[in-house]
Amino acid sequence: MYRNWEKSSLMEVLFSFLEGGIKMSKKVLILGAGLGGSAVANKLAREFRKEIAKGEVEITILDKNDVNVFQGGFTFIPFGLYTPEDLTMPRKKVISPRVKAVFGRDGEVKSVDLADRKVTVASGRSYSYDYLVIATGCQADVESVPGLSNDFNTFYTSIEDALKLGKLVKTFDKGRIVILTPQMPIPCPGAPGKFTVMLDAYLRYIRGEEVRKNVEIEFLWPIETIGPPAYNQIATKVFEERNINITRNFKLSEVDANNKEVVGADGERIKYDLLITIPPHKGIKAFSDSGIAVEGGWIPVDKYTLQYRGPVGNYDEVYAMGDGSTAGAVKTGIGAHYQSLIVAQNLINELHGNGIKVSYMGELGCPFVGAIYTPSTRGEAHIATWMYDKPLEPFKPTKLGWLIYRMYYYIYWDTELKALM
Amino acid sequence: MTGEMKEKETIPVELDQSELDALVEVLNTVKFLRDFLNDQMVHDIAEVMSVVFKLINTVASTDLIDVLERGLQDPNLDKALLNPPKVSTWGLIKAMKDEDVQKGMGIMIELLKAIGRASTD
């Protein structure tokens, strides 16, 4: 029945008629099968199972990859705290069979026409919709930093890159490690700080105090605060206690890989022996090319309804969420999860026609790690949460917080992706 | 370091001795669990929990549960459980003429097909 999704033609209408008559089903099209897209698809599939069976509702999800990769776990990979197997899952295992899941070139979005309600993919196929959900996330933009690709080590972009960095960290004995974040926004802005604390603990307690004494850790941060005030307060305290140097408001000009130096906008040159970079990020090119994104490739939305409010007009039937949108104060997986529940509920309300709207209140979370589990430390963490108008309260990382945080990555597939909580 | 932070408001709470004892007991239990658990145990517990979540999703995502809920409360089934009827092969063939049995079989056959499809996915 996928013919229903292709551009109508006389032959297709005839086929459809011969297959049992023309049914006017409501079509929900979801772009991106990450956390947000999968959660919306699964929640709708659960709610509209009868309507799907009767052909009254169709839910389709598109993605170029058929494997879901849990990016939030990359930070832990260099220290062996999660394995690649922990962080990957075939998408067909976590998306309800009631959802038409399309992967590969047929699922890779190339252009979006909001006026015509049409999405075209890499294979040339096109999909029409009644409701569109954009949840494609964002992508690293390494080339935007002059010289960075000549010495690019990171835990941010893939499991392979995180494993490669793990090998470097395991053998690094002496010198200066610079952890560089050139600019905001980035997904999961708490991750650079978390990584740095874990790196310190790894060098100090796993590799040994002697190694840590011979390693200087420098944290270059592009803005004044590391997260909201309460987060910044605890991060600053922990960094100071662990002898990690912070340079705030660092504006990067280029990476000089030949001389192993990071060059600031004011000409300041900072030497490094190992450079670990969190690359700048941008939205998906297809959206910029389609003219529906704002600068940086982000999809603009109303901060409460998550409906599209952008350069080509306002479209109430189009929702965007997660890292690729302007929703939320910062881009976090926990925020995307909250947003997905709101988008799904509003679609449920729309399809039922009950006239009720629910709003995203800016709920998001950014876990803080104070220590990892080592022979000398028990592991400490806290999942800091706040909302648009309710600031983060002061907190202290705890061992229970660490255990809950560790567990979260294992149960993610069966809870968040399936919109069970 | 920047960012102003407000002083936290504190509210006094009155507890009698028995309530305090209970609270201390709860805290001791939590402390015991906290100290007992480690990363590997959390991993193993999470694997079990994932199975439980799969079951929850299964139960929450199908109307078969509603059908079973009603079907298992059917007064005729209650009567049959009090005195289970013996059904011969001929009785089975006769029962298959019953419309309700036919519907039930239809559901069971579709369930078998779905399990087959899911197992080869």
Please report the pLDDT score of residue A23 as a whole number: 57
Please report the pLDDT score of residue B25 as a whole number: 94
Nearest Cα of chain B lies from the Cα of A400 at a distance, in angstroms, of 6
Q: Determine, yes or no, domain membership for B121.
A: yes
pLDDT digits (tens, 9 = 90+) for A35-66: 999 999 999 999 999 999 999 999 999 999 99
Nearest Cα of chain A lies from the Cα of B100 at a distance, in angstroms, of 21
What CATH number has the domain bearing residue A261? 3.50.50.60
Q: A260, A280, A300: which is the final residue of a domain?
A: A280
Q: A280, A296, A327: which is the final residue of a domain?
A: A280
Return the closest-CA partner of residue A201 out of A383, A377, A396: A377
Q: Are residue B57 and residue B100 in the same domain, yes or no? A: no
Alpha helices in A62-104 (DSSP H): 91-94
Q: Is the pLDDT of residue A355 over 80?
A: yes
Q: Is the pLDDT of residue A21 over 60?
A: no
Q: Is the pLDDT of residue A15 over 80?
A: no
Q: Determine, yes or no, domain membership for A287.
A: yes
| Mean pLDDT, range A5-9, rounded to an integer | 48
Mutation target vs B (from A50, A82, A414; most B CBs, 10 A cutoff)? A414
- What values do phi and psi take at A119, rounded to 5? -120, 130
With a CB cutoff of 8 Å and minimum separation 6, the contacts of A140 are A154, A156, A157, A279, A280, A281
Strand arrangement of the beta sheet that strand A131-134 belongs to: A100-102, A57-62, A26-31, A131-134, A313-320, A307-310
d(CA A247, CA A243): 13
Confidence of residue B46 (pLDDT cuts 50, 70, 90): very high
Residue of A46, A393, A406 with shortest CB distance to B60: A46
Please report the pLDDT score of residue A5 as a whole number: 45
What is the identity of the amino acid at A275? L
Domain enclosing residue B84, as ranges: 63-121
Please report the pLDDT score of residue B2 as a whole number: 45
Q: Is the pLDDT of residue A76 over 50?
A: yes
User: How much of chain A, in percent, has pLDDT values that exceed 90?
Assistant: 93
> Cβ of B54 under 8 Å from any chain A Cβ?
yes
> Cβ of A375 under 8 Å from any chain B Cβ?
no
Q: Determine, yes or no, domain membership for B104.
A: yes
Q: Is the pLDDT of residue B8 over 70?
A: no
Q: Are residue A303 and residue A269 in the same domain, yes or no? A: no
| Mean pLDDT, range A119-146, rounded to an integer | 97
Confidence of residue A279 (pLDDT cuts 50, 70, 90): very high
Q: Are residue A9 and residue A126 in the same domain, yes or no? A: yes
Q: Which of residues 302-321 of A touch B (CB under 8 A)?
A: none
Q: A280, A300, A330: which is the final residue of a domain?
A: A280
pLDDT digits (tens, 9 = 90+) for A136-178: 999 999 999 999 999 999 999 999 999 999 999 999 999 999 9
Q: Are residue B40 and residue B72 in the same domain, yes or no? A: no
Give the end-to-end CA distance of chain A in Å, rounded to a whole number: 32
Please report the pLDDT score of residue B3 as a whole number: 46
Domain enclosing residue A195, as ranges: 140-280
More confident residue, A262 or A3: A262
Q: Determine, yes or no, domain membership for A370.
A: no
Confidence of residue A1 (pLDDT cuts 50, 70, 90): very low
Please report the pLDDT score of residue B4 as a whole number: 53
Written in H, E and C, the secondary structure of chain B is CCCCCCCCCCCCCCCCHHHHHHHHHHHHHHHHHHHHCCHHHHHHHHHHHHHHHHHHHHHHCCCHHHHHHHHCCCHHHHHHHHCCCCCCHHHHHHHCCCHHHHHHHHHHHHHHHHHHHHHHC
- Which chain A positions have a beta carbon within 8 Å of B63's beta carbon? 49-50
| C-beta atoms of A232 and B3 within 8 A | yes
Q: Determine, yes or no, domain membership for A183.
A: yes
Please report the pLDDT score of residue A380 as a whole number: 96
Q: Are residue B52 and residue B75 in the same domain, yes or no? A: no
Please report the pLDDT score of residue B11 as a whole number: 87
Please report the pLDDT score of residue A14 as a whole number: 59
Return the closest-CA partner of residue A65 out of A29, A92, A28: A92
Q: Determine, yes or no, domain membership for B10.
A: no
> Cβ of B3 under 8 Å from any chain A Cβ?
yes
pLDDT digits (tens, 9 = 90+) for A374-411: 999 999 999 999 999 999 999 999 999 999 999 999 99
Q: Is the pLDDT of residue A300 over 50?
A: yes
Confidence of residue B10 (pLDDT cuts 50, 70, 90): confident
Q: Are residue A68 and residue A82 in the same domain, yes or no? A: yes
Confidence of residue A18 (pLDDT cuts 50, 70, 90): low
Q: Are residue B53 and residue B93 in the same domain, yes or no? A: no
Q: Residue A70: which H helix or E strand, with range?
A: none
